[in-house]
Amino acid sequence: MGASFQLNHEKLASDPRFAELGTALGALSPIESEETFNRYCREACRLWSSHFRDPVGETSSRFPELLERIERRGEGVIKTDWGGVVVTLHEHPRVEKFLVIREGGYLALEMHEQKDERLEVKEGAGLVLRRRPNERVLTAELLKRGSKFHFKPGVEHCLIGTENLLVFERSVDPKGMD
Going from the C-alpha of 91 to that of each of 17, 45, 88, 120, 173, the distances in angstroms are 41, 35, 10, 20, 10
Tell me the per-residue pLDDT of 116-126, one tens digit each, with 9 for 90 and over.
Answer: 999 999 999 99
- Which helix or strand (DSSP H or E) is residue 94 part of? strand 94-101
Residue 175 has a pLDDT of 82
Helix, strand or coil, per DSSP, at residue 156: strand
Q: 101 forms bridges with which residues in the sheet?
A: 83, 165
Half-sphere exposure (Cβ direction) of 104: Cα atoms closer than 13 Å: 4
CA dist 148 and 156 (Å) reads 16
| pTM of the model as a whole | 0.94
CA dist 44 and 105 (Å) reads 11
Residue 1 has a pLDDT of 58
Residue 173 has a pLDDT of 87
| 123 contacts 63 by C-beta, under 8 angstroms | yes
* 59 Rama sector, left if φ>0, alpha if ψ -120 to 50, beta otherwise: beta
- Parts of the chain with a pLDDT under 50: none
- Which helix or strand (DSSP H or E) is residue 89 part of? strand 83-91
List domains and CATH numbers for the chain: 6-172 (2.60.120.10)
Angle (deg, nearest 10), helices 34-51 and 19-26: 150
CA dist 58 and 138 (Å) reads 26
